[in-house]
Amino acid sequence: MTPAWTPEVAELARTERLLVALDFDGTLAPLGDDPMAVRALPETAEAVRRLAAARDTVVAFVSGRQLADLRVIGEHADDSVVWLAGSHGAEHWRPTGAEAVADDVPMVDVVERTASADALIADAERAIEGIDGAWIEAKAYGFALHTRLADETGAARAQGLVDALVGERAPEWRRRTGKDIVEYAWRHEGKDTAVAQLRAETGATAVLFAGDDVTDEDALRSLGDGDLGVRVGGGETAARVRVSDPLELAELLTAIADARAS
């Protein structure tokens, strides 16, 4: 049976220069209890490879992961042609030959805020001590509270404690919720700004963005006429197309690669 998304894919594939921007966790790879053990499925990895090799097609990973971790889980080598936007667009990596992106945050601010974040992270870790399955992950511009392994009561308690701590000490930080995770960051960039920057840098005439979580909706809502948003899995979404899981996304991406190749 022909997939319901076939007409949208056929239309998108005809664009002159295509940007395919993809979330990673839950989109190219199943979610896992150990965040650093996550890897793309063989099917999604192959679809990405084929798209990246297609003419006038740019592939980018757009993730909440800090850049260093995104490169590990994405098995991203120095000679890769896949563009990266980490930390929700606050960090960038560009292939050799692409113009580097300058960070407009003064280094003195980074140093001061990093020191303040380190102290807050330490206090957050102390706050949730003894709550089984809850843990803190330090990130480039803040931290995340993971509750995937906690029971419902423990997750709610940990979130309440950390919310109160950040609300008192850093009320200006941006708070994002996802699947069993709450992220707190002093940088306010979102995946919408990451996609807009990638579009401008690559000269894309159309964009496909695919994601599976609440934080991906910023990017999905930002897409315009001629673009295509894809939601992976359930949940309320602004995307025009929904696929059931990463395997079906691989099928969709492969269809685009085939159309671009022909």
Q: Are 169 and 185 in contact, with CB atoms under 8 Å apart? A: no
pLDDT at 105 exceeding the cut of 60: no
Q: pLDDT band for position 96 (50/70/90)?
A: confident
Q: What is the pLDDT of residues 120-161, one digit of tens each?
A: 999 999 999 999 999 999 988 999 999 999 999 999 999 999
Structure tokens at 156: 């709610």
What pLDDT score was predicted for residue 107? 47
* pTM for this model (two decimals): 0.85
Q: What is the pLDDT of residues 57-86, one digit of tens each?
A: 999 999 999 999 999 999 999 999 999 999
What would the mean pLDDT of 1-15 be, rounded to a whole number?
94
Residue 131 phi, psi dihedral angles, 5° rounding: -95, 105
Report the C-alpha gap between 211 and 262 in whole angstroms: 27
What would the mean pLDDT of 217-230 be, rounded to a whole number?
97
Weakest mean pLDDT among 15-19, 136-140, 207-211: 136-140
3-class SS letters over the chain: CCCCCHHHHHHHHCCCCEEEEECCECCCECCCCCHHHCCCCHHHHHHHHHHHHCCCEEEEEECCCCHHHHHHHCCCCCCCCCEEEEHHHCEEECCCCCCCCCCCCCHHHHHHHHHHHHHHHHHHHHHCCCCCCCEEEEECCEEEEECCCCCHHHHHHHHHHHHHHHHHHCCCCEEEEECCEEEEECCCCCHHHHHHHHHHHHCCCEEEEEECCHHHHHHHHHCCCCCEEEEECCCCCCCCEEECCHHHHHHHHHHHHHHHHC
